[in-house]
Amino acid sequence: MTEAFLERDFKAYERHRQDDPEYNALRLSVRRKLKAMADAVLKEAKGLGTDLSAQAGLHNPYTFNAYRVREQRAYLCRGTKERKKLSAFFGEALGKDAETHYIQTVLEVCLDDQIVEAALRIHPQAWWDGENLKKKLQDPAAMDEFCQLLRALPPGFNLKLHDWRKDNWCAQAKATELKDLFKEYTPGNHWLHVQRQLPKEDALAMGAEAEGWVRSSLLALLPIYRFILWDPS
């Protein structure tokens, strides 16, 4: 069983500690905790017929995070075989991006100084999935199916475009409103998020049950994940 979230886990990501190498060891423990949750979801997803690969983000200040660890992430993406299939289809020029584990549609658990978040995210550079979703949703039947998948999620999920402030609550998903959102969505430029947040206070109060919240949230996103993915075959 994964250890429950602790007060110190969140403190490691407070602004005045984000660039402090003395907190690398603590952030490493958080990284391992989140990765263990992602690994558990990977195993459950495989039993449900979805092959995934688990990765974890940097825990130390480095060039890739502008020498600040603002949050800790662990995520799941296409399995190696599926990424290699994408890479082979796109060829040498684009294949490197297509095989990169983070330039994908991912299922992610993320922790910062205030929240634990479970989310599905389409990376801006994963335009193959973004374009697939946009094209699919031009069909009214597919849009209705997508709305049903969003409404079937546990309470608290919202659909967000990039860094826009507007929340589109999944429980109230309507085709007319989503059509307007997807008119603004440009794969290649924008992130797309389906996310659920657990405030720090709630995560601490839940103890070991917080792990179950993360795992059940990510598993609940699997039908939407499968709906979005583009397959070159």
The structure tokens 């039908």 sit at: 223
In a domain, residue 151? The reply is yes
Are 202 and 184 a contacting pair, CB within 8 Å? Answer: no
Q: Is residue 1 part of a domain?
A: no
What is the DSSP secondary structure assignment for residue 3, as one 8-state letter? Answer: P
Region at 104 (left for phi over 0; alpha for psi -120 to 50; beta for the rest): beta
d(CA 160, CA 105): 14
- The answer to the question of residue 126 being in a domain is yes
Q: Let me know if residue 17 belongs to a domain.
A: yes
pLDDT for 228: 98
Domain boundaries, position 96: 7-228
- Is the CB of residue 200 less than 8 Å from the CB of residue 111? no
The low-confidence residues of the chain, meaning pLDDT below 50, are none
Residue 61 lies in a domain: yes
Q: How many domains does the chain have?
A: 1
Q: Residue 95's pLDDT is what?
A: 77
Distance between CA atoms of residues 24 and 30, nearest Å? 10
- Answer yes or no: is 116 within a domain: yes
Instruction: Mark 147-160 as b/e (b = at least 16 C-beta within 10 Å).
Output: bebbeebeeebbbb
State pTM to two decimals: 0.95
Q: What pLDDT sits at residue 98?
A: 87
Residue 2: inside a domain: no
Q: How far apart are CA 141 and CA 145, in angstroms?
A: 6
41 falls within a domain = yes
Tokens of 30: 């958080």
Write the pLDDT tens digit of every residue in 14-59. 999 999 999 999 999 999 999 999 999 999 999 999 999 999 999 9
CATH number at residue 103: 3.30.930.20
